[in-house]
Copies of this chain bind each other. A is one copy, B any other.
Amino acid sequence: MPASLERPLPHPDAVRVSPEADMLRDVVRLLGGDAGAVEPSMHVPMALRRLDEGAVLSHEGAPLQSLHIVRSGSLKCVRTREDGYEQVTSLALPGDVLGFDGLHGGRHAATEVALQVCTVYALPLPSLHTLRERSRPWDDVWQRALSRQLLLASETADLLTAVAADVRLARFVLWLSARAAGLGWSPRRLRLTLNRRDLASLLGMAHETVSRSFTTMADAGLLRVANREIEILAFAELRARARITRRPAEPFAIVVPHEDDRASPHAPREPARWPPLRTPLQDGLPRPVT
């Protein structure tokens, strides 16, 4: 189901955004709409902002003036608890709408921080108003985008409902993979932009446990992990792990990525470790963004 969430998009840089009028077109594309559907003649105030890594797009509680649509890069949405603990609530990727959950209260519901260099469209509320009023095609695109955003939120919650830590992590990796595929990136080779601590916060576990779960899954041959670069080696088995809802996951079966080189049946099952796996990736992974 997450795979159907997105459709492949042309490479971001293939789209030239020269004058302001084309921004709208680009936004429609990002939201998954028909780029030609909205009359390009319309132009409403809108801005393309560039954010450096660590830059704050908007602060929790600040009055909501614009909604944002991520064009490239990634951001984390954070809520600061009263004790100062920073809870990561979601990871935003290109095409995501930010800030809509604040429309009801008139204030930003979370702080959004760029995890890398990002570009983001800022759509002022009056512009949104105007667009929805004047263009029915736009309004349709917008409704569907909101629906998708709601679906994404419930998927994020789904990641958390699994009881076991590596199941949660496996689900996250698959979720990210599906989103990557939807963006036209490789679903096998992923680049995390969250560090272990933020990822742990998002998944509701200790960051040491994230580390350990990665190691466990890497030793089992499901993944290759080198810092923030991840390669999925065995989709089917990873999915199997992600499915587990309760019950003490039967002792890890070592999985060999391809048909050949299968473990002989009389090899020791439990303590066996596949030596060469989990080595750093020799060739750098393609950067997902910009």
Contact = CB atoms under 8 A, between A and B. Distances in A.
Contact of A4 (B81, B102, B105, B201): B105
A243 interface: yes
Interface of A: 1, 4-5, 79, 81-83, 85, 87, 89-90, 100-105, 109-110, 132-133, 136, 139, 143-144, 146-151, 153-154, 156-158, 160-163, 201-202, 204-206, 243-246
Nearest to A61: B1
B151 A150 contact: no
Given A89-B154, A150-B153, A160 B204 contact: yes
Given A87-B158, A163-B206, 18 more contacts: A5-B104, A5-B105, A79-B158, A81-B243, A81-B245, A83-B243, A85-B245, A100-B150, A103-B143, A103-B144, A103-B147, A104-B151, A109-B151, A146-B146, A146-B150, A156-B157, A160-B160, A161-B201
Contacts of A149: 150
How often does this chain occur in the complex, in copies? 2
A206 B104 CA distance: 34
Contacts of A89: 154, 157-158, 161
Contacts of A136: 133
Contacts of A161: 87, 89, 160, 201-202, 204
23 contacts: A4-B105, A5-B104, A5-B105, A79-B158, A82-B243, A83-B243, A85-B245, A87-B158, A87-B161, A89-B154, A89-B158, A100-B147, A103-B143, A103-B147, A104-B147, A109-B154, A146-B146, A146-B150, A153-B154, A160-B161, A161-B201, A162-B204, A206-B246
Contacts of A133: 136
Identify the 5 closest CB pairs spanning chains A and B, nearest first. A103-B147, A104-B147, A160-B160, A153-B153, A85-B245
A110 B147 CA distance: 14
Q: Which of A100, A148, A153, A157 gathers the greatest number of chain B CB atoms within 10 Å?
A: A157
Contacts of A110: 154
A278 to B, nearest CB: 27
A94 B192 CA distance: 40
Contacts of A82: 243
Q: Which of A104, A110, A151 gathers the greatest number of chain B CB atoms within 10 Å?
A: A104
A110 B157 CA distance: 13
Given A161-B160, A162-B204, A204-B161, A144 B85 contact: no
A163 B205 contact: yes
Given A136-B133, A158-B89, A245-B81, A151 B101 contact: yes
B154 A204 contact: no
